[in-house]
Amino acid sequence: MPHKYKLIELLADGRFHSGEQMARVLGVTRAAVWKSLRKLESLDVELHAVSGKGYRLATPLELLNADLIKQQLLPAVAAMIPGIEVHMELPSTNGYLMAKAWAGRHGQVCLAEHQTAGRGRRGRVWHSPFGGNIYLSFLWQVADTSAHPGGASLAVAIGVARALERLGLSDIGLKWPNDIQYRGQKLAGILLEMTAESGSGCTVVAGIGLNVRLLPAHRQDIQQAVTDLQTITGAMPARNSLVATILNETFQVMRQFQNGGLSSLREEWQSRDVYRGRTVVLVTPNRWIEGTAQGIDDQGQLLLQQADGVISRFSGGELSLRAVTP
């Protein structure tokens, strides 16, 4: 592990650590410690330095820990997860599980504290600064392709919404296909990627990006109204419990999706649909279609009623939806 991350592990407790102590733990010179501390700036980790005391993080950090997460899983969910990996840094947790090595490892979970090439929908970048938010992916084998695999991303969105509600949040809404909103602002997004066809089914990697603590500099990079859990609740949530709750709820929903398809979840999805009955514009790569959002069908496709009264279905990750009138 690079020295900068070893230092973060040491400093995560929020206490002062002297240069000498850090050098000893890392087995390097004090000059090397200083160099690594400078690198923390590029991760947007704020440090306080006090002469005679040393260095500490401006705010303590609860690092993700696979054992702590596992301890909080429901037995039935733990049984569905063969392994949880936590990385300090990855290009993308989705990309990591898309690699061949993970093929067939149904339920495998991967988390990272920081993504250097986080992926969003429609080819966008998912800004993934260190140590605050949740970047989580899991691998899922969809047994039967008659259940449209794209519907899995709507199922995941229900799982995340249930988890947030379990943590006491109300006003959680879903925007087709799979944005999680709080009072009209984006709180989380989901990216579903398909890895391989396997017999009659296929393997998908579902990635969840949840805003827990966005720094002002990062908010500026995002071209839409966003919010985070710290702003909503006024406190930094316990991140390991948060991940466990997300896994508990999401894996239960995925099991329901596996057994009953999206039709068994359709009503629940629609109960949180923030655009239902509203005039919207659907943006596809080659056209804009205006209409009234009428919820989803049993496959998770958007139902859009156009001016002539005809209701059409739209599917796929290339679409986005914008409200034009309240």
Which residues are at the interface with ligand BTN (CB under 6 A)? 92-94, 115, 118-121, 124, 126, 135-137, 179, 189-191, 207-209
| Cα–Cα distance list, 316 to 33, 109, 137, 151, 302 (Å) | 49, 24, 20, 10, 9
Rank residues 54 and 95 by Cβ distance to ligand BTN and give the closer one: 95
Which CB atom, from 92 or from 250, has the smaller least distance to ligand BTN? Answer: 92
Instruction: Note if 186 is an active site residue.
Output: yes
Q: How far is the CB of 206 from ligand BTN (least distance, A)?
A: 8
Angle, helices 30-42/19-26, rounded to nearest 10 degrees: 100
Instruction: Please give the DSSP secondary-structure letter assigned to residue 301.
Output: P
- C-alpha 158/C-alpha 249 separation (Å) is 8
Shortest distance in whole angstroms from residue 175 CB to ligand BTN? 10
Using the minimum distance from each CB to ligand BTN, give the nearer residue, 92 or 294: 92
Alpha helical stretches, state H, 122-263? 151-166, 216-221, 229-233, 239-260
Distance between CA atoms of residues 112 and 133, nearest Å: 9
Catalytic site residue from 162, 186, 239, 266: 186
Minimum Å distance from CB 208 to ligand BTN? 6
Q: Is the Cβ of residue 35 or residue 124 nearer to ligand BTN in the bound state?
A: 124
Name the minimum Å distance from CB 126 to ligand BTN.
4
Q: Name the minimum Å distance from CB 209 to ligand BTN.
A: 3
Q: Is 26 exposed, middle or buried (0-12, 13-18, 19+ CB in 10 A)?
A: middle
Taking the least distance from each CB to ligand BTN, the nearer of 184 and 260 is: 184
Q: Give the span between the Cα atoms of 59 and 70, in whole angstroms.
A: 25
Per the CB < 8 A criterion, the answer to whether 105 and 137 are in contact is no
Judge contact between 143 and 136, C-beta under 8 A: no
Q: How far is the CB of 239 from ligand BTN (least distance, A)?
A: 14
Nearer to ligand BTN, 54 or 149 (CB): 149
Q: How many other C-beta atoms can be found within 10 angstroms of the C-beta atom of residue 80?
A: 18
- Choice among 121, 175, 239, 272 that is catalytic: 121
3-class SS of residue 153? helix
Answer yes or no: 322 catalytic.
Answer: yes
Query: Closest CB to ligand BTN belongs to which residue?
Result: 189
Active site residue 4: no
Provide the residue count of the chain.
326
CA dihedral 241, 244, 245, 247 (to 10 degrees): 160
Catalytic positions, written as ranges: 121, 186, 322
